[in-house]
């Protein structure tokens, strides 16, 4: 019985670790998307400046 409890505890810890990893990955993806949006905005501004000149 003790062994089974230990196995269950280990599985729970692994599950929590996986959830944290998924959250970190989601945060990284959001940051990348924001960076891409900023780059696009900068490119649009540069195009406008070129058109003005």
Query: pLDDT tens digit string along 14-49?
Result: 767 677 778 888 999 999 999 999 999 999 999 988
Q: Other C-beta atoms within 10 Å of 53: how many?
A: 4
For the question of whether the overall pTM of this predicted structure is more than 0.75, the answer is no
Give pLDDT, residue 33: 94
CA–CA separation, 8 and 23 (whole Å) = 23
- At 8, list the tokens: 């269950």
CA–CA separation, 47 and 7 (whole Å) = 60
SS (H, E, C) the chain: CHHHHHHHHHHHHHHHHHHHHHHHHHHHHHHHHHHHHHHHHHHHHHHHHHHHC
**30 or 53, greater pLDDT:** 30
């Amino acid at each position: 019985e003790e062994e089974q409890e230990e196995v269950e505890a280990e599985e729970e810890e692994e599950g929590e670790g996986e959830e944290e990893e998924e959250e970190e990955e989601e945060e990284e993806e959001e940051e990348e998307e924001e960076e891409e949006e900023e780059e696009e905005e900068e490119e649009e501004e540069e195009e406008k400046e070129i058109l003005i000149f």
